[in-house]
């Protein structure tokens, strides 16, 4: 059951629907880029979490790359590097 200021969801079913919707939105809009930056980040990246600048949302890394963005080295890392 969701918690917060409004806990009157009517039923456990509606609470579950809210959680599933939130999960869907989080998965669908998982990458951000700050306006004017070439770098895209995961939602929650410490480099952008406090930024008040306008952000663009991407639903996939490919869409961000198609917009000529490069991945953040902190939150996404270099997937091509050998460990």
Q: Which two tokens stand for residue 66?
A: 């198609």
Within a domain: 54: yes
| Closest residue by Cα to residue 44 from 26, 56, 61, 19 | 26
Domain that residue 42 falls in:
29-83
Number of domains in the chain: 1
pTM over 0.75: no
Within a domain: 83: yes
Model confidence at 4: pLDDT above 60: no
Give pLDDT tens digits for 17-71. 888 887 777 676 689 999 999 999 998 899 998 899 999 999 899 999 999 999 9
Compute the distance between CA of residue 17 and CA of residue 23 in angstroms, rounded to an integer. Answer: 10
């Amino acid at each position: 059951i969701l918690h917060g200021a409004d806990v009157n969801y009517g039923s456990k079913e509606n609470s579950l629907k809210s959680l599933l919707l939130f999960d869907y939105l989080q998965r669908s809009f998982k990458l951000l880029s700050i306006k004017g930056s070439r770098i895209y980040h995961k939602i929650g990246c410490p480099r952008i979490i406090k930024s008040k600048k306008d952000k663009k949302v991407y639903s996939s890394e490919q869409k961000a790359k198609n917009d000529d963005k490069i991945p953040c080295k902190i939150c996404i890392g270099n997937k091509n590097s050998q460990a």
